[in-house]
Structure 1
């Protein structure tokens, strides 16, 4: 009885100890959650302040200044609240760094509003990026703290379960042994799967179920983990898709908005030459929007497996000549050269789709090549394949970019600085070429231009046809 009493007292004391620890863990998780939520609100408020500061005001200057001041007060209030959520000296240092970066951004933004120039606006944008990076690191730190706290709670939970089972097994030897076996073989894996499902449903997308226990439970956990990974991947792809579309459609829309504002009827008479330049700009931006939307539609059809090809006999030389003639009419400071073989290069293909591929390659070559340089379009036969080559003397591509170049929304940093685009053209081109049984390759070095090669199977080894002049070149 004395031993039983000691066991009961030990059980009660352990329960009290674990309860107290779990209360502390709950409070720590609560503060960590606030440490994630509040920096998120601070980042949103910071972006709102920047947008209000740089966008043309819809209100009077006084009202605009009042709104900006209110936004700054909101930032200061959030910084004060965040300061009370720190759990450690390291987190307090991170919060102080965030405060310093936000202050630096506000100072840079005030300079940009008082003396607007390219330099002050650039400094304000850089200060915003630095402040956002500090906030993101603070969020990462709090997420790590929350996960560490959660892991510690799980360890304590496991210790509590082990302790309770041990005490119960001492009190009830037979029943305790059976419960211990059930816990190790069935209960723990089932609890792990259940907790993983609950955590994943609560928003923790990194949760995975432990693949333990009998074969049925391991298969259940494996199925859940595969489903969770697929869902997370699809969510990331959707976010990437939306972010890419929003970013790349914004530039032409902004240009159109500025152009329409310029030709406002309430303004004084616009010079004809200026109006002509504006109309040209509008036409160019509308064409860019049409190209982006077309790429999006093609990408959607491809992903849905609905890309239709209308196959017919075509001469690759005529396809290349048609594309070059299309761009010749609008060349501005570039030279476009076309080289064709003497004999026909016959393909069994969808001519419209292959022209789309060549249009994309030639358009990119012209966009990313300096004025006064030459772009070569060559058609030839090589090892039983038709070879369509587009070579430019433009900005070039690094090896890392070349590996990811044909992925949707993939654009190199230097390419984004040169011209807008949705980043879908090369991805669509690759899928069209692959649908014809061919492949597309790229060879490039930074600063030394790029060469794109489209390889397609010939419809037959040889076919007599009308000869073209050898080595013909079009300027």
Structure 2
């Protein structure tokens, strides 16, 4: 499972829970605010109705005092009636439901009838209108009590709704809290198993590798990113170990290859310094041997220096326009003059084939290819060196009839300090010549191709871009092979 996906899912889940909680809180507070306003309206309606009831009873008491002939000012009853009208108007403004408005209409109607009856009561003797006035008062009080009961019922219903929403909010809060806790616990458990434990394993593997330099493997487990990290570390550790082993093998090979020419030089020096007479023919052979061993040592040291410069990015080229045929001819003549025990055949175009290159470096490449062809071919076999044009490219090919290269060995052919088993058995070397040659050719904008099969020889082909200053008319088609004698 991917760590990125898990963290993204966890963050999205937590954000969703937070959004749900925030939305629920907003909805709940909005509803509670409206419920509070509704309950306040109901309580205010109850209070106004009760005030109306008290004022009405006070008015009725004043009316009874007037009928009994007691001293009561008229302004007092008029003020009470006006106060009752104001209270009715306030009650109407507080009414929200249709049922409440209908009850308020009944209250107003009963109160109007009560006022009519009260007006008539002042015109008749005391006691004649008491029954009707009391009836109208009771009817008005009954309507007011119904209005009060309705407000109380509405307040209770609203209170029950608030209580229900409160319980739902409690359950929702507990649910969100439980989900958050479970999510955090699950995430921590997963992080411990899939992140922290693999990280500690990778850390321990790095510490062992850095401290002891031993071959170690980080555990490939946990999240996908950590598995990729462990796999990359394992590949890096294997590569470094292989490089270390390759360096040790290279040092051993260099020491071995240096020992052979040094032993030959030591024996030659001992022969020259011997007290006995040395014939001129023997001396000439000894000096030729010394010359060959010195050339071999020089070539080995030069390859090592070139490999070092290439790895450091300090390979410098001195470009000039040279004829590819002349470069190939100089290399072939060099090996002909050394008395190679092979037949060297040279194929050249009829006319010049200019290249813009570093002549010394390109001769180094051809020297390496021809030397390998001679080294890994049986004595008396043919080695062909061909120069020709193909489109916008110049081809320099070296073909031998040697031991050949298998497909498995081909993959490591240009790897520095690595030599195939058959190559190690056939001839000594440190395994950097082809690597240096490929880097030189690539620095010229070209490439090296290899065609080979075991037991049937190999063809190394250097493909370089043709010099842009060369007109097409100067290009010549390949001519026939130049047959050379066999050198032994």
Query: What is the 5 A alignment of 1:3-82?
Result: none
For the pair 1:471 / 2:480, whether they are aligned, the reply is yes
For the pair 1:207 / 2:217, whether they are aligned, the reply is yes
**In 2, distance between residues paired with 1:322 and 1:457?**
21
Q: Which of the numbers 449, 452, 456 marks the counterpart of 2:457? A: 449
What's the secondary structure of 2:411's corresponding residue? helix
**In 1, distance between residues paired with 2:349 and 2:213?**
60
Report the number of matched residues.
Answer: 298
For the pair 1:258 / 2:276, whether they are aligned, the reply is no
**1:342 Cα shift?**
1.9
Gaps of 5+ in 2: 1-184
Q: Report the equivalent of 1:304.
A: 312
**1:296 Cα shift?**
0.7
| Deviations 1:285-306, CA, capped at 9 Å, x for gaps | 1111111111111111111111
**In 2, distance between residues paired with 1:213 and 1:392?**
53
| Deviations 1:186-233, CA, capped at 9 Å, x for gaps | 763454345334433244431326664798x88987886676456435
Q: Which of the numbers 290, 296, 306 marks the counterpart of 1:288? A: 296
**In 2, distance between residues paired with 1:440 and 1:276?**
40
Q: Report the equivalent of 2:252.
A: 243
**1:379 Cα shift?**
0.8
**1:433 Cα shift?**
1.1
What's the secondary structure of 1:196's corresponding residue? helix
Q: Report the equivalent of 2:376.
A: 368
Q: Which of the numbers 419, 430, 436 marks the counterpart of 1:428? A: 436
Q: 1:252 to 1:459 in 2, by over 3 A?
A: same
Deviates more, 1:371-380 or 1:431-440: 371-380
Deviates more, 1:240-249 or 1:285-294: 240-249
Q: 1:226 to 1:436 in 2, by over 3 A?
A: same
Q: Which of the numbers 464, 467, 476 marks the counterpart of 1:459? A: 467
Q: 1:363 to 1:225 in 2, by over 3 A?
A: closer
**1:425 Cα shift?**
1.3
Q: 1:382 to 1:283 in 2, by over 3 A?
A: same
What's the secondary structure of 2:218's corresponding residue? coil
For the pair 1:399 / 2:407, whether they are aligned, the reply is yes
Q: Report the equivalent of 1:320.
A: 328
What's the secondary structure of 2:451's corresponding residue? strand
Gaps of 5+ in 1: 1-175
**In 2, distance between residues paired with 1:404 and 1:225?**
21
Q: 1:351 to 1:370 in 2, by over 3 A?
A: same
Q: Report the equivalent of 1:115.
A: none
**In 1, distance between residues paired with 2:322 and 2:186?**
79
TM-score (norm 1): 0.54
| Deviations 1:424-459, CA, capped at 9 Å, x for gaps | 211111111111121112223333332221111112
| Deviations 1:335-390, CA, capped at 9 Å, x for gaps | 32221112332222212111111111122222333333332211111232111111
Is the CA contact (8 Å cut-off) linking 1:379 and 1:388 kept in structure 2? yes
**1:263 Cα shift?**
3.3
Is the CA contact (8 Å cut-off) linking 1:312 and 1:350 kept in structure 2? yes
Q: Report the equivalent of 2:396.
A: 388
Q: Which of the numbers 347, 353, 356 marks the counterpart of 2:361? A: 353
| Deviations 1:135-156, CA, capped at 9 Å, x for gaps | xxxxxxxxxxxxxxxxxxxxxx
**In 1, distance between residues paired with 2:342 and 2:186?**
85
For the pair 1:419 / 2:427, whether they are aligned, the reply is yes
Deviates more, 1:223-232 or 1:300-309: 223-232
Task: Answer with 1 or 2: which has the greater Rg.
Answer: 2
**1:278 Cα shift?**
2.0
TM-score (norm 2): 0.53
**In 2, distance between residues paired with 1:433 and 1:442?**
14
For the pair 1:410 / 2:432, whether they are aligned, the reply is no
Q: 1:299 to 1:178 in 2, by over 3 A?
A: closer
Q: 1:368 to 1:209 in 2, by over 3 A?
A: closer
Is the CA contact (8 Å cut-off) linking 2:336 and 2:344 kept in structure 1? yes
**Aligned-pair RMSD on alpha carbons?**
3.5
Q: 1:247 to 1:386 in 2, by over 3 A?
A: same
Is the CA contact (8 Å cut-off) linking 1:208 and 1:228 kept in structure 2? no
Q: Report the equivalent of 1:157.
A: none
Q: 1:214 to 1:301 in 2, by over 3 A?
A: closer
**1:251 Cα shift?**
2.2
